[in-house]
A and B are shown apart, each in its own frame.
Chain A
Amino acid sequence: MSRLRALLAAVALLGAANAWAVNPEDRLPDPAQEARARAISKDLRCMVCAGQTIDDSTAPVAQALRKMVRDRIVAGDTDEEVLDAVAKRYGDYALLKPRFSAENLVLWIGPFLVLILGGWGAVQFIRAGRAAPVDAAPLSEAERAALRDIEGA
């Protein structure tokens, strides 16, 4: 079930139209600009699809977004400005890379905090391990006698 469902859902949605993403006629004449458009497209979500980027998706929204991205690039926007413009019109939901904002702080800082906290825990554990005897304590005379008994029997 799992992933296949999502992908199927995505395919089912685009199935009826089945136009493929980024068609030849969309392309910008300047290859450098087109490359930028493709790169930006990979950071933008097709809002009606199951987790697809506008670069992959064939939905009309994605088509509109691809055009918008290219128009802005031709108009001279930087990559950041293009993303901002898209977010302004369609909301932050369109950004696959969430903004580094106060709201999203946990998302961006969280893994580092866990790394630091976990690292601290690991150091404590390793210290404790260093303090403990590395090799098992040698057998006492009584234990050795018992062992001799077993082996000798």
Chain B
Amino acid sequence: MTVELGHYALVLAFVVALVQAAGGLWGAHAKNPHAMALAGPAAVAQGTLTLFAFFMLMNAYLTSDFSVANVYNNSHSAKPLIYKIAGVWGNHEGSMLLWIMVLGFLGALVATLDRNLPPTLRARVLGVQALIAVGFLAFSLFTSNPFERMDPVPLDGRDLNPLLQDPGLAFHPPFLYLGFVGFSVAFSFGVAALLEGRVDPAWARWVRPWTLGAWTSLTLGIAMGSWWAYYELGWGGFWFWDPVENASLMPWLAGTALLHSAAVVEKRDTLKAWTILMAITAFTTSVLGTFVVRSGLLTSVHAFANDPERGTLLLILCLLMTGGALTLYAMRASALRPGGGFHTVSRETALVVNNLLLSVLLFAVMIGTFWPIFAEVFFGDRVSVGAPYYNRIAVPLTVLLALAMSFGMQLPWKRAQLRSAARRLRTAVAITVAAMALVLWLAGQGKALSVIGIGMGVWIVAGAVLDVALRIKVGSASVGEVARRAGGLPRSAWGGAIAHGGLGLIIIGIVGTTIWVTERVEVMKPGDRLTVAGYELSYDRLEQREIANYQAETATFTLSREGRKIDEMFPERRWYPVAEMATTEAAIRLTLLDDLYVVLGDPRDSAPEARVVRAYHHPLVGLLWGGSLTMVLGGLISLSDRRYRIGAPARKAKPIADAVAAE
């Protein structure tokens, strides 16, 4: 019964979305206040209905209702509670429902919080948001119904893939989706602004919190996925330039560009057309990413949970949305007149450079991801585009970005002086040069790259710290004054500096993890020792255990340094007989400076308990994860800036409402 209610709610949401789209878009066009007034309540209703549908599916999972095909295929009565919850989105139909739920929920949030928007803009934003929802609801209802029943009802489910039963993995899709779908609000605002023919600093302020929220969530989602790959896949890799990863990187790059260009619109009323283009790009690349993953177009192996027919429909949806938005853009963008002027050396120029570099990077990731398809279709050749390609393009661009970042932060709006910016950056330059010299002196492997990498990272971190220090006058004012200034510095300034610093830390972590990594692979039997990067690892014993639905063999290693025992490590191999799948659980000992990563491999004939053992030492890897969290933290702090707080009452709310009533 609840399942039918959920299905019914989804159908109803589809109808309500149609009303919302028509009311919002036609109402704003015809200046019909009654039609426009429909959009708000419709958005709230649509959000509520999709949320309801989502919880009905979750309920089916929680109660193990195997009459629902989706539950039968992806759950099991004995599965732990959190994986029953995560199972909801661990499959195609459920993940589309999650997508729709987030879309509807955000639409309702826009309707509730952004009450002080000019009425036609608000109606149009909600109208566009509803058009997107119509597309995805239709897709879900007609091709991917999560509520389909089964007859006869099976006794128990087929269980979720054991690898999906991991907390890191279970909760990474919702954050990723919140990011992807969050950009839909920026998209709707962008298209609505084109329809209105007007973009101004107020528009940028309204878009900002939504973009920032989406960006923060996407950053966290990507970091979680990366972390999962790092500890679960067993060789310490964290980024593979896999098409599916690229699919999440593309909207991230576009969203980052959008955040920066929207600042120019907000502060200087210029760069408007470009900002709209970035708002459109951030969301269309998100949809493209979903299409890429769902269609199985890129690699046949991904066909795992995909279906080409659905892929075609998603592609059509994607083309309609992108094509429609870009056509409108081509027609209307020229009407967006740039506002304030600026000098060649200014914050404006720095942010234009930032957007240029990010867009080139985005283009490279996009062409790299889709080139194999293109080459196959047009030349009939199977080619691969992998890490060596991306690194070659991304590294130089990142170096330029890094240089521009810390420098740009010291350039004021309108007009700046190179010399005074350089003077302010003296300390950062000194620290960076010292760090690079130290690396040049110390580094053993990959000298050139590590000097450049560490230089970039330190330069960004130093630039971010210096930016805050100069603004709050550390060293040139009394302690009380510094504290007062620190309190008075806008949260968005803190957030920006912290997020920049996070990126610097990530770059340092990447250098440590990929260039300075030490690896040992040996066949070991109990009693054997192995040395990796000054750590001694001795293989003590191996235990076999039977646990609930898998068999495990766990090795015990004693970790010591200079003869003193520091810790014990327990790498594990698991065998899931039902799924006929083996997994490895690496033992990872993370400290502030490095980690030790031990993986238990295959048996070898030399002794019954002889195993191939892989031990890795990843210096500075903590900075990779810490830096990611720092970026997220920066996003959150910036989001809490009261100037941008969603729904912060605008002084002019009343007069605008009156003005419209008068129309």
Contacts and interface: CB of A to CB of B under 8 A. Distances in A.
Does chain A bind chain B?
yes
Interface of A: 1-13, 15-16, 18-25, 27, 42-43, 45, 48-53, 56, 91-98, 103-104, 106-107, 110-111, 114-115, 118-119, 122, 125-126, 128-136
A52 B384 CA distance: 11
Interface in B370-419: 371, 375, 379, 381-389, 392-393, 414-415
Nearest to A6: B244
B95 interface: yes
A4 B352 contact: no
A101 B527 CA distance: 54
Contacts of B367: 106-107, 110-111
Given A107-B389, A129-B338, A18 B371 contact: no
Contacts, number: 225
29 contacts: A1-B176, A1-B305, A4-B172, A6-B293, A7-B228, A11-B583, A12-B163, A12-B581, A15-B580, A15-B583, A24-B522, A50-B301, A51-B299, A56-B237, A95-B383, A96-B387, A96-B388, A97-B388, A97-B389, A98-B371, A103-B375, A126-B342, A128-B338, A128-B341, A130-B343, A132-B339, A132-B340, A132-B342, A133-B340
Contacts of B634: none
A117 B656 CA distance: 42
Nearest to A48: B301
Interface in B83-103: 89-90, 92, 95
Contact of B289 (A2, A8, A118): A2
Interface of B: 89-90, 92, 95, 161, 163-164, 169, 172-173, 176, 225, 228-229, 232-235, 237, 240-245, 247-248, 270-271, 274, 289, 293-294, 299, 301-302, 304-305, 338-344, 348-349, 352-353, 356, 359-360, 363-364, 367-368, 371, 375, 379, 381-389, 392-393, 414-415, 521-523, 573, 580-584, 599, 601-602, 612, 614
Contacts of B173: 1-2, 4
A122 to B, nearest CB: 5
Nearest to A129: B342
Given A8-B163, A51-B243, 15 more contacts: A1-B176, A2-B247, A3-B248, A4-B173, A6-B293, A7-B232, A10-B233, A20-B602, A96-B387, A98-B389, A107-B368, A111-B364, A128-B341, A134-B340, A136-B340
A16 B580 contact: yes
B384 A94 contact: yes
B432 to A, nearest CB: 25
Contacts of B241: 51
Contact of A129 (B95, B341, B393): B341
Contacts of B302: 5-6, 9, 50
B567 to A, nearest CB: 23
Nearest to B221: A2
A5 B387 contact: no
Nearest to B601: A20
A3 B245 CA distance: 5
A104 B352 contact: no
Contacts of B359: 114, 118
Contact of B521 (A1, A22, A56, A91): A22
Contact of A8 (B95, B161, B339): B161
Contact of A18 (B89, B228, B387, B602): B602
Contact of A24 (B235, B389, B523): B523
B164 A8 contact: yes
Contacts of A16: 580-582
B246 to A, nearest CB: 9
Given A4-B173, A107-B367, A130-B343, A93 B383 contact: yes
Nearest to A94: B384
Most buried by A among B384, B582, B584: B384
Closest 5 CB pairs of A and B: A96-B386, A132-B341, A97-B388, A93-B382, A18-B582
A2 B225 contact: yes
A6 B299 contact: yes
Contacts of A93: 382-384
Contacts of B92: 1
B614 A129 contact: no
Contacts of B237: 56
Contacts of A5: 244, 293, 302, 304-305
B242 A50 contact: yes
B581 A134 contact: no
Contacts of B163: 8, 11-12
A23 B612 contact: yes
A43 B384 CA distance: 10
Given A119-B356, A135-B414, A104 B383 contact: yes
B382 to A, nearest CB: 4
Given A1-B293, A42-B387, A114 B360 contact: yes
Contact of A111 (B233, B240, B341, B393): B393
